[in-house]
Amino acid sequence: MNMHSSDAATAEEAIAAQEALPPLTNEEATQVAMSNTLLTPRFYTTDFDEMDAIDVTPVREEWDKLIARMKSDPNKGHFKKNEDWDTVDWDGMEPKLKAEFIDFLISSCTAEFSGCVLYKEMKRRGSNEDITTLFQLMARDEARHAGFINDALREAGIAVNLGFLTQAKKYTYFRPKFIYYATYLSEKIGYARYITIYRHLEKHPEHRFHPIFKWFCEWCNDEFSHGEAFALLLKTDPKLTESWVNRMWIKFFLTAVFSTMWVRDHQRPEFHKALGVDPEWYGQEVFRKTSEISRQVFPMVLDIDHPRWKPTLRRMEAANVQIAHGRKQGGLGGWLKRMAGSAKAGFAFVSLLTIPVEKSTVPASPRMEPAY
Number of neighbours of residue 154 by Cβ within 10 angstroms? 16
Does position 285 bind Fe ion by CB under 5 A? Answer: no
Number of neighbours of residue 337 by Cβ within 10 angstroms? 20
Residue 119 vs 349, nearer CB to Fe ion: 119
Residue 14 vs 263, nearer CB to Fe ion: 14
Residue 145 vs 208, nearer CB to Fe ion: 145
Work out how close the CB of 288 gets to Fe ion at its nearest, in angstroms, rounded to a whole number.
20
Considering only the stretches 185-193, 194-202, 250-258, 274-282, report the one whose residues sit in contact with Fe ion under the rule CB under 5 A. 185-193
- Return d(Cα 279, Cα 281) in angstroms, integer: 5
Does position 188 bind Fe ion by CB under 5 A? Answer: no
Does position 193 bind Fe ion by CB under 5 A? Answer: no
Work out how close the CB of 125 gets to Fe ion at its nearest, in angstroms, rounded to a whole number.
19
Tell which positions 196-235 bind Fe ion, by CB under 5 A. Answer: 223, 226
Tell me the β-bridge partners of 44.
Answer: 172
Torsion of CA 315, 318, 322, 327, to 10 degrees: 110
Q: Which of the 8 DSSP states describes residue 206?
A: G
Distance of CA 199 to CAs 34, 85, 145, 193, 279, Å? 32, 18, 20, 10, 15
Considering only the stretches 106-114, 250-258, 290-298, 356-364, report the one whose residues sit in contact with Fe ion under the rule CB under 5 A. 106-114
- Return d(Cα 367, Cα 372) in angstroms, integer: 15
Q: Residue type for 251, please? A: K
Site string (108-147) toward Fe ion, x via CB under 5 A: ----x-----------------------------x--x--
Residue 100 vs 142, nearer CB to Fe ion: 142
- Return d(Cα 184, Cα 116) in angstroms, integer: 14
Work out how close the CB of 219 gets to Fe ion at its nearest, in angstroms, rounded to a whole number.
7
Binding site for Fe ion (CB under 5 A): 112, 142, 145, 187, 223, 226
